[in-house]
Structure 1
Amino acid sequence: MFNILIVDDDTSFGLMIEGFLKRKGFNTTYASNFNNAQNLISHQEFDLILTDYRLDNATGLDLLPIVKKKNPNTPVVLITAYSDIRVAVNAIKLGAFEYVTKPINPDELLHVINRAFEKISPKPKAQKTSSKREYIKGISRYSLETEQQIELIAPTELSVLILGESGVGKEFVAQRIHELNTRSKEPFVAVDCGALHSDIASSELFGHKKGSFTGALEDKVGHFEMVKNGTIFLDEIGNLSYDVQVKLLRAIQERKARRLGANEEYPISCRIIAATNENLRVSSFSGKFREDLYHRLNEFSIHILPLKDRKDDILFYGYKFLDFALQEFNKQNIIISSAVKDIFQQYEWPGNLRELRNVIRRAVLLCKGDEITISNLPNEIQQPQQLTTDEDPVQLKEVKEKSEKELILETLEKTKYNKAKTARILGIDRKTLYNKIHRYRIDL
C-alpha cells in the first residue's frame, strides 16, 4: 500500500483530501505546515508527496529539493490555483511530477496519483529510461521547418542543443532524433538535470562505488554507463552545478568517465543531446555556465517556439490530445465546441503543449455530454486577464527595454566594450547592436 504525505496549511482542506485518499485505500500522513513536512520527509519514507503551493512560511517548491535529495524518484504533485500556472510549469521544470489546479476535482486528483505510481519502477534508482511515446509533427510553418532540421541532423553524430520554453516538447524532439538515428535500437535515457540535487548529481550521471561517500551502501551504475551506445538526453542542462559541469566536460572531451570512488574508467560511446530554457550563451559569459562546455554541446541547435507563436498548431495538437484523453478515460464521441476553440486560439498558453494536454485531459474528465464546453475549462482560461488601460502596454514595454538595456550594458562592460564580441554573445549582429545602443542612448 502506498504512503502519501499531504502538505497544506488549510487544515480543513488538507483533512478533506486525506479522508478522500484513505477511502481510496492509501496510507496518508498530514502535515499542516512546511517545517512539519520537512521533518516528516527527513525521518519517514513516502511514496508520493502531495503539497499545496502556498504554505505558511514557504512554498511547495521549497519542498522539492528536500524530497529530491533524499530520493530523486519520489513523485511530487503540486496543488495550485490556475492563476499560478507559471509556477506550476516551473515546478515541473524543477522536478515535480505533475500539478493539479483548484478547485480540486477528486477524479482528476486520483488519476494523477495513480499515474504517478504507475511510473514508479522497481529498477535501480539510477535508471530513468523514457518509454517510447508517440511523436506528433506540428502543421505550422515553423513546426515543419523544425521537422526538416530534425531529419537533417538526426543521422549524424553531432551533439544537439534544443532550446525552448518549458513544456514545448524538447524531450519529444530529442527522442525523435534518437529514433531517426542508427542508434534507435539502443537505449534512450532522459535525465532531468533540474531535479538533480548538487550533492548527488555526479553519482546520478557517472555512478559510484560502495563506500565512496556516506550513504553509498552499494555500487551504482550512472546514466552515462547505463546508456552504453544509445542516446542520453540532458534536460535543463543549465541547472548543473559548476563542479558537475567540469566533470561533464571532461567526460565529453575524453569520452571516458569514472564512478565516484573508483580507479578504473569506462568508455562513453553514447550520443549526447541537451536542452535548456535558458540563454546559455549569456550564462557562459557571466560564468554561470562553462563556455567550453556550451560549445561542446552546441554543435547544432534547434529552437522550438512557444505555442502562442505558432497558432496553427494549437487546435491540431488539441485534437490529438483529445484522442489520447478519450482512450485514457474510456470515453468516445466527444468534440470541442466552437466557443472553446476560439478561447484556445486567444489564450497565451504559458505552459505550452504540456498545459494544453492537461487542459484537454481535465476537460474530457469533467465532460458529461458529447461536447467540451467553456464550463469544462479552468476559470482563468474562461476569463483570461485583459489589459484594462492604455497605460499597461507602455509600462510592459518600458520594463522590457530597461532589462534589455541593462543586459547590453553589462555585456559591454564584460567585453571591455568590444562591440563585435558583445553582439556575438548576445546572439545579434553588429548592426542590430549599434541600433540598440543608439536607441537606448548608451554612452561608449
Structure 2
Amino acid sequence: MKSILIVEDDITYGMMLKTWLSKKGFQVASVSSIARAQKHLETEGADLILSDLRLPDKDGIDLLKWLVTQGMSIPLIMMTSYADIQSAVQAMKLGASDYVAKPVNPDELLKKIGEAMKQPSVSPKQAVCSEKGNNTRPQASGGTSSPSSSDYLEGESDAAKQLYNYVKLVAPTTMSVLINGASGTGKEYVAHRIHQLSKRAGQAFVAIDCGSIPKELAASEFFGHVKGSFTGALTDKTGAFVAANGGTIFLDEIGNLSYEVQIQLLRALQERKIRPVGSNKEITVDIRLVSATNEDLEQAIEKGTFRQDLFHRINEFTLRMPELKDRREDILLFANFFLDQANRELDKQLIGFDDAASKALLEYHWPGNLRQMKNIVRRATLLAQGKLITPNELSELHEPIHTHIGLPLRNEETEKQQIIEALRQTGNNKSRAAQLLGIDRKTLYNKLKLYNIEN
C-alpha cells in the first residue's frame, strides 16, 4: 500500500483529505507543520508528500530544500491558492512534481498523485542541478493539459474549465463544431484536442488555413487535382478531404473562403463525396469537420458574403474561446509556461518573473491574447540578464499600440491606406506586410477581404 504524507495546517481540511485518500486505498498520515513533517519523514518515510505552500513555521519550498539536504527523492505535490501560483511554479523548478490549486479538485488530485508516483524518482537536488545544464526541467501543469505538455496549457480559470468541459462533451460525438474567438486565443489547439478525444483519434488530423489559400487554388487544396488539369498541375495532388478520410479536418478562418468555394464545400459535406479538379471520378469521404473563425459569420450572412446553409452545416455546436484578459487566473500560468518553452529554445535558465513583472503581466489587457504573450515572454527571456524577468524586459507592455509603419489605426479609410502602403513597400508579400503592420497574417487576410483590396 502506497503511503502519503499530508502537510496542512488547516486541521479540518487535512483530515478531509486524509479520509478521502484513505478510501482510495492509500496509507495516509497528516501533520500540520514542516517540523512535524521532517520528523515523520525521518522515522516513517512516505511514497509521496502532499504539502500546502504556506505553513505556520516555514513553507513548502523550505521542505523541498530540506529534502535536498537529506538526499530524499520523494515526489511532492504542492497545494496553493491562485495568489501563490508564481511561488508554486518556482517550487516545481526546485523539484516539486506538480501543484494543484485550492480548493482541490478530487479527481484532478488523484490523477496527479498517480502520475507523480509513476514518474522515475528524481531528487530535488537533481532537479536544481538540471537548471544549470541542458536537461529538461519539470513543467508547470495547471489544469488538464494536452498529452504533450510542452505544446499547450489549458489553464485553471473558470472560463478555461467551462471551455474544456464542453470540449470533452462534444468530442466523442459526430457533431460539426465551430470554434469562435479572437486571434491568438488557441483555436487550433482546441480543434486538435477535440480530435484527440474523439473516436477518430487514431486517424489523421488535417488543418487548413483558409485565409492563406488563393481562391483559384482552394478547390485543389480541399479536393485535390489530377495532373494537367490546370497550368502548374504537374502531378496528381491528394486534397485535404482525402488526406483526412476517417479522421478530422480543421478549417481555420473559414469565413475567408470565397462564395464559390463555399458552394463546393457545402456539396462535399452534404454528399460526403468529392471530385478532384480535372477528374470525372467521385471519391467517398468520411470526415469530422471542425471550423474556426474570428469573424461574426451571422453578420457575414446578412452582408451576403457567407452562405447561411453552410453556416448551419458547420455550426452544430459552437465553442467560444475566452480572451486572455478574461482569464486572469491563467495569466501567470501561461507566462511561466511560455518561459519554460523559451528557456529550452534559447538555451537559457531563467526561473520566473519578479513581483513587479508579475504585476505588469496581470494588469496588461493582452489584445493579442496567447500569441502575443508567447512572443513577449520569448523576447524578455532573450533580453534578461539575471535569473528573473523584470519590467525592463517587458517594455512592450507599456508602449502604445501602433503599426510598425508609424501610424495609429484611426478609422477604416486610414487602415485601408496603411495596408495598401505596406503591400507596396513589401512588393505584395503578405507575410512581410503583416509584420510591417504589426498584425498576424490571418488578420491581414481578413482586412484584405473587408476592404476589397486585390490580393
Gap change, CA 1:347 and 1:384, over 3 Å in 2? farther
User: Identity percentage over the alignment?
Assistant: 50
1:358 to 372, 375, 378: 375
State the SS of the aligned residue for 1:245.
helix
1:213 to 230, 243, 251: 230
C-alpha separation between the residues in 1 aligned to 2:177 and 2:171?
A: 9
- Residue type at the aligned position of 2:250: F
C-alpha separation between the residues in 2 aligned to 1:175 and 1:132?
A: 14
Does the aligned pair in 2 maintain the 1:237–1:275 contact within 8 Å?
yes
C-alpha separation between the residues in 2 aligned to 1:251 and 1:384?
A: 46
Deviation at 1:133, TM superposition (A): 6.7
Does the aligned pair in 1 maintain the 2:376–2:396 contact within 8 Å?
no
Does the aligned pair in 1 maintain the 2:178–2:314 contact within 8 Å?
yes
Unaligned runs of 5+ in 2: 1-147, 402-409, 412-455
1:303 match: 320
Does the aligned pair in 1 maintain the 2:342–2:381 contact within 8 Å?
yes
2:303 to 277, 280, 286: 286
Deviation at 1:383, TM superposition (A): 4.4
Deviation at 1:339, TM superposition (A): 1.1
Does the aligned pair in 2 maintain the 1:171–1:235 contact within 8 Å?
yes
1:382 match: 398
1:185 to 186, 202, 205: 202
Q: What is the number of residues matched between the two proteins?
A: 256
The 5 A counterparts of 1:164-313 are: 164-313=181-330
C-alpha separation between the residues in 1 aligned to 2:316 and 2:279?
A: 31
Alignment TM-score, normalising by the size of structure 1? 0.56
C-alpha separation between the residues in 1 aligned to 2:399 and 2:212?
A: 33
C-alpha separation between the residues in 2 aligned to 1:346 and 1:133?
A: 26
- Residue type at the aligned position of 1:382: H
2:154 match: 137
1:314 match: 331
1:437 match: none
C-alpha separation between the residues in 1 aligned to 2:343 and 2:152?
A: 18
2:352 to 332, 335, 340: 335
Q: Larger deviation: 237-246 or 346-355?
A: 346-355
C-alpha separation between the residues in 2 aligned to 1:366 and 1:271?
A: 44
Cα deviation per residue 1:25-71 (whole Å; 9 max; x = unaligned)?
xxxxxxxxxxxxxxxxxxxxxxxxxxxxxxxxxxxxxxxxxxxxxxx
1:367 match: 384
Cα deviation per residue 1:324-383 (whole Å; 9 max; x = unaligned)?
111222222431111111111121211100110111111111112101111212x34134
State the SS of the aligned residue for 2:292.
strand
The 5 A counterparts of 1:100-179 are: 134-179=151-196
Cα deviation per residue 1:127-163 (whole Å; 9 max; x = unaligned)?
xxxx997342211111100011000000101000000
Deviation at 1:182, TM superposition (A): 1.6
State the SS of the aligned residue for 1:275.
strand
Does the aligned pair in 2 maintain the 1:334–1:369 contact within 8 Å?
no
Deviation at 1:245, TM superposition (A): 0.3
- Residue type at the aligned position of 1:367: A
Gap change, CA 1:303 and 1:170, over 3 Å in 2? same
State the SS of the aligned residue for 2:200.
helix
Does the aligned pair in 2 maintain the 1:138–1:144 contact within 8 Å?
yes
C-alpha separation between the residues in 2 aligned to 1:329 and 1:170?
A: 26
Q: Larger deviation: 179-188 or 149-158?
A: 179-188
Alignment TM-score, normalising by the size of structure 2? 0.54
Does the aligned pair in 1 maintain the 2:350–2:389 contact within 8 Å?
no
State the SS of the aligned residue for 1:182.
coil
Unaligned runs of 5+ in 1: 1-130, 386-394, 397-444
Cα deviation per residue 1:188-231 (whole Å; 9 max; x = unaligned)?
11110001111111111111111111111111111111111111
State the SS of the aligned residue for 1:339.
helix
Gap change, CA 1:140 and 1:281, over 3 Å in 2? same
State the SS of the aligned residue for 1:360.
helix
- Residue type at the aligned position of 2:214: H
Q: Which has the larger radius of gyration?
A: 2
C-alpha separation between the residues in 2 aligned to 1:364 and 1:382?
A: 17
Gap change, CA 1:288 and 1:191, over 3 Å in 2? same
